[in-house]
């Protein structure tokens, strides 16, 4: 009861954080090419991936693991 949560609430928060990482890991594989199809004719869509760099996280006391995973996973 580090944050005053019950064990099932804590386990649920960690499980949900794991789902964020699984989702974004699969999302990184979705567009592997340098371009994507566009719904508009004559428009080219280029994919450029750049790291975000240093980020800061302000985490509330009630969902510290979930909030951090929302920022770290993408």
Q: pLDDT tens digit string along 12-32?
A: 999 999 999 999 888 877 766
Task: Name the one residue in this structure whose structure tokens are 């993408």.
Answer: 74
Indicate yes or no: pTM above 0.85: no
Residue 1: pLDDT band with limits 50, 70, 90: very low
Question: Strands, DSSP E only, in the chain?
Answer: 35-36, 45-46
> Is the per-residue pLDDT at 2 higher than 80?
no
Sign of CA dihedral 52, 71, 31, 47: negative
Question: What span, in angstroms and rounded, lies between the C-alpha atoms of 73 and 17?
Answer: 9
CB 22 within 8 A of CB 33: no
């Amino acid at each position: 009861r580090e944050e005053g949560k019950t064990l099932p609430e804590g386990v649920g928060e960690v499980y949900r954080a794991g789902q964020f990482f699984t989702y974004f890991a699969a999302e990184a594989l979705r567009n592997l090419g340098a371009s994507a199809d566009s719904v508009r004719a004559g428009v080219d869509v280029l994919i450029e991936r750049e790291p975000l760099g240093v980020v800061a996280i302000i985490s509330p006391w009630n969902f510290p693991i979930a909030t951090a995973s929302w920022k770290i996973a993408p």
